[in-house]
Structure 1
Amino acid sequence: MTQQGVRWTADQVLALAPDAASRKAGSKLGAAGPWSETGSSDEGTVWGLCKGSGSKPYQTVIDIADASGPAYKCSCPSRKFPCKHALGLLLLWSGDDGAVPPGQAPDWAEQWTAGRRQRAEGKRTPGTAGSPASADPEAARRRAERRAERITAGATELEQRLADLLRGGLAAAEQTGYGLWEETAARMVDAQAPGLAARVRELGAIPASGPGWPVRLLEECALLHLLDQGWLHRDRLPESLAATVRSRIGLPASADGPPLRDRWLVLAQYDTADSRLTTRRIWLYGADSGRTTLLLSYGAAGRAPELALPVGLALEAEVSAYPGAGQVRAALGEQFAPPAPASMRPPGVTTTQAASRYGEALRSDPWLDSVPVTLERVIPTPDGDSWQLADADEDTALPLTPAARSRPGLWRLVALSGGTPVKVFGECGHQGFTPLTAWPQEAGPAVPLC
C-alpha cells in the first residue's frame, strides 16, 4: 500500500497537521499504547481504535489511496482535519514495525471508505445537473459586463485617490492613519475588485513601518497605478497580459489549459491565513515535463483546506494551467494513482540564475512577488543580523526574506547543512529567498522547512 510498499516518513505525516498543537498532540499518540484493533489494507485504508477519556474508544480510519491526498474519519469531537488521532495512527503506521498489520477492514471502516470513493467518482462524472455548462451563457455575459463596469468605476476612483496622495506628498500618509486606506479598500470591495482591495490594504501597512518606508510606498503606489491602467486599457494589451491583469484585479478564471499528465513530485506545502480564509499553497514538479506548478486550496478561517499532499510524495496526475502570462497556477485534474513516497529531486540552478529567472518573469507579470526556484548547492550563512544562502560554486548569495528569518525552519536548514552545501527549493522574489524544502547533498529524504 502506497501504496504499502514504501511507508511515509514522520515528517511527511506531521506536515498534514493543521497547526502546531495538533502536531504535538498527534506525536504523543504515535505509539502503540492507546491503540487497539489497528490494521491496513492493500486498497489503501488504515484504521484503529484509540482509547480516549470516554468508555468507548475513538474509531479512526484514513483513506491513503485517495489521489488528492489522504482523507480522514474519526468519531472524536474534534473539528480539526486531520485530528490528533488520525495523525497518531499515521505515525504508528509509518513506523512499519508491525504495530499496524495488514488485514481486512472492519465494517465501519470499509463502509466509510466505499461511500466516499463512490461520491468522489460521482463528482468526476461529467454532465451532472448544476454544472457550469448548464448555466445560462447570456445571463453570465450580462453579469460579467455589469461587474466590469463596477471595476472600471472603482479603478477610476482609485486613480484619483493615488493622484491626491502624490499631490499632497507622501509624508502626509504617515499622519492620516490606516482608516483612509481601509475606507479605500472597502470601496474596491464594493466595486467587486478584491485584488485592488488587497493591494490597498497592503499600502496602509507601509507608512511608519521603518526606515525607507516612503520609497516602499512609492514603489507599491506605482505598481497599483500600473494595475489600474492595465485594467482601464485592457483592450490594448496582448491577451496573455490582459488575462494576468484580470487575475490580479481579482476576477475568477477557469483552468482552461490543455491537461498535462506527468509524475508530479510534491515540493512544498504551506498555509497562510487571515480573518476570513485559510489558503494552502502546494508546489509540484513534473518529472517528465520539468515544469513547476502551483495548486491552491482554500478553507474557512481556522479550518485546514481539504487538499493535502505531504512533501516528498509523488502522484501520477493531470494538471491544467490557468490563463495569464507566466502563470504557474494550475488545477489538479484526473489522478491515476495515489500519492506515494519518491526519491527523485528537481534539478537546481545557481543563485545568479535564480535572480535572473525572477527578473525575466517580471516582464510577463510586473506584479509578481516571487517565482519558484530550486538552488543546487547553497550554504546558509549569517550576514550580520540576517541570513543568506551563499552559492558554494560562485561568489554570490541570496538574502533570506524577513519572513524566512523568523521561521523555525531556518534552524532546520542550518542543522541539515552543517556548513556543507544543500539543495533548497523555495520562492525567490524582490524581498529575497524563502526556503521551503531542503535535501542533503548526497542522499536522503526531503526536509520540509515550513
Structure 2
Amino acid sequence: MKPPEFVTSPFLPGEDRQILMDKGIEQLEIWLYDVIKIGLLQYDFAEQSVFEISSRMIDAKLGGIARRLRRLGTLNRADPDWVEQVLRILGDLYLLVSAFKNKKELSSGLITSLYSLAGLNIKKTDLLSLAPVEDHWLVCGVEFEEEENLRSRFTWIMGAKSKRTALLLDFAFGRVDFQTRYLFRHSYQGSLYYYPGSFPIRAHLQDPLVVRKIKTFPASFENIEKYLDVYAHAISLNPWITDFPVCIRNVTLQKSGEKFLMVDSGGQVLPVKNSPDDLWPVYAGLGLQSCSLFGIWDGKEIRILSWDDGFVHQSL
C-alpha cells in the first residue's frame, strides 16, 4: 500500500519523482532561510549567485521553481520597486514550500496546480481524456519570450459561446518553428482541453480550423469592480496565479504623470504596465473615446495586449 503522503493521479508525478521534488523543496527552504538571515540588501541576487540554487532545482525536476529563481537575477537593483519585486518572488516561493509540506491538506485540484507550477509537464495527449469545450475561439493577444534556445509563445483566446478565456502555451527549440500557427484577430474552431488544476487557465486547442472572424471580444466585464471580484475568487483557489486575463468594455486611457491608467465608466482605475512609448499612438488615436481593452493583470498592473473601439481590433 502506498504511503499516505503520496498522491496518485494520471496528472501527477510518480512516487520516485515526488520524493526527488520533495528533497528539492527542502533545499529551497534552507536557501530561503539563509537569504532572510543575510538580509535582502546584503544578499547578492546576481545571476551567478542564484545559478547554484536554480541548478539544484533543475536536478530535483523543479524547473518551474528554477525559472522563478533565475528571475531574481534579472531584476535591476536601481529600480525603486526592487525590494517589492524580490519580496513578491520570495513570498511566492515560501508559499510553495509551505504547500509542498502540507500536501495532504490540499484539494486535488490545488495539488495538481502545485506540481504543474513546480515544473511537471502534462502531455497534451493525456488531456484528451478530459471533457473538452467546443467553441469558436478568437485570438485576443499573442506574446513571445526567448531564453537561450527555447522560445515560448503565449496565445490568449476567448470563446464565442462559452465566454471562457484560455492561454495556449507553446514552445519551440532552436530553429524549429511552432507546430501550430495562431494569428492575432483570427478565429479558430476546435476542442479546447484545459490543463487540470484548481482554477484552470492554460489549455490545449485540438485540431484548430480557421473560421470566420469573430467581430469583437466575446466576453468582457462591464466594470473593473466585477472583474476584480472574479480575480479575487481565482486567487483564493490558486494563489500562484501571476498572469490573469482581463477584458473590460467602455473604458478609456488617461494620462497620469508618466504613467497611463485604464478608467472604466464608473471612474475606477487600473494602472497600465505598458511603456508610454507603446501607448502614445493608442492614446492619440482613441482620445477620450471609449473602447474595450484586453490585457493581462499581474495583481498590480495591467499589460494591454489589444483593444477594440467598435471599428477596428488592434494589438500593441
Task: Give the TM-score normalised by structure 2.
Answer: 0.87
Partner of 1:184: 53
Give the whole-Å Cα distance in 2 for the aligned partners of 1:163 and 1:357. Answer: 34
Matches for 1:246-325 after TM superposition, within 5 Å: 246-253=115-122, 254-255=126-127, 256-301=129-174, 304-325=177-198
Q: Is the 8 A contact 2:253 2:283 kept in 1?
A: yes
Give the whole-Å Cα distance in 1 for the aligned partners of 2:42 and 2:35. Answer: 8
1:389 aligned residue (262, 280, 293):
262
Alpha carbons of structure 1 residues 279 and 207: separation in structure 2 relative to 1, 3 Å: closer
Q: Is the 8 A contact 2:20 2:60 kept in 1?
A: yes
Please list every run of 5 or more consecutive structure 1 residues that lacks an aligned counterpart in the other structure. Answer: 1-139
Does residue 83 of structure 2 align to residue 211 of structure 1? no
Does residue 43 of structure 2 align to residue 173 of structure 1? yes
Does residue 19 of structure 2 align to residue 149 of structure 1? yes
Q: Is the 8 A contact 1:311 1:446 kept in 2?
A: no
Q: Is the 8 A contact 2:158 2:219 kept in 1?
A: no
SS of 2:229's equivalent in the other structure is helix
Give the whole-Å Cα distance in 2 for the aligned partners of 1:388 and 1:173. Answer: 35
Q: Is the 8 A contact 2:270 2:302 kept in 1?
A: yes
Per-residue deviation, 1:196: 1.1
Aligned residues: 301
Deviations 1:50-69 (A, max 9, x none): xxxxxxxxxxxxxxxxxxxx
C-alpha RMSD of matched pairs (Å): 2.3
SS of 2:266's equivalent in the other structure is coil
| Bigger-Rg structure (1/2) | 1
Partner of 1:445: 312
Q: Is the 8 A contact 2:46 2:74 kept in 1?
A: no
Deviations 1:154-183 (A, max 9, x none): 110110111111122222114x64322111
SS of 1:172's equivalent in the other structure is coil
Q: Is the 8 A contact 2:161 2:218 kept in 1?
A: no
Does residue 219 of structure 2 align to residue 338 of structure 1? no
Give the whole-Å Cα distance in 1 for the aligned partners of 2:164 and 2:217. Answer: 13
Partner of 1:230: 99
1:160 aligned residue (7, 30, 48):
30
Partner of 1:414: 283
1:352 aligned residue (225, 238, 245):
225
Per-residue deviation, 1:412: 4.1
Per-residue deviation, 1:325: 1.0
Alpha carbons of structure 1 residues 215 and 341: separation in structure 2 relative to 1, 3 Å: closer
Give the whole-Å Cα distance in 1 for the aligned partners of 2:79 and 2:189. Answer: 47
Partner of 2:6: none
SS of 2:41's equivalent in the other structure is helix
Give the whole-Å Cα distance in 1 for the aligned partners of 2:81 and 2:166. Answer: 34
SS of 1:341's equivalent in the other structure is coil
Give the whole-Å Cα distance in 1 for the aligned partners of 2:277 and 2:212. Answer: 28
Q: Is the 8 A contact 2:138 2:187 kept in 1?
A: yes
SS of 1:228's equivalent in the other structure is helix
Does residue 115 of structure 2 align to residue 240 of structure 1? no
Matches for 1:18-97 after TM superposition, within 5 Å: none
Does residue 270 of structure 2 align to residue 398 of structure 1? yes
Give the whole-Å Cα distance in 2 for the aligned partners of 1:257 and 1:396. Answer: 39
SS of 1:326's equivalent in the other structure is coil
Partner of 1:87: none
Specify the code of the residue in structure 1 equivalent to 2:190: A
Task: Give the TM-score normalised by structure 1.
Answer: 0.62
SS of 2:66's equivalent in the other structure is helix
Give the whole-Å Cα distance in 2 for the aligned partners of 1:303 and 1:382. Answer: 42
SS of 1:338's equivalent in the other structure is strand
Give the whole-Å Cα distance in 2 for the aligned partners of 1:212 and 1:274. Answer: 24
Please list every run of 5 or more consecutive structure 2 residues that lacks an aligned counterpart in the other structure. Answer: 1-9
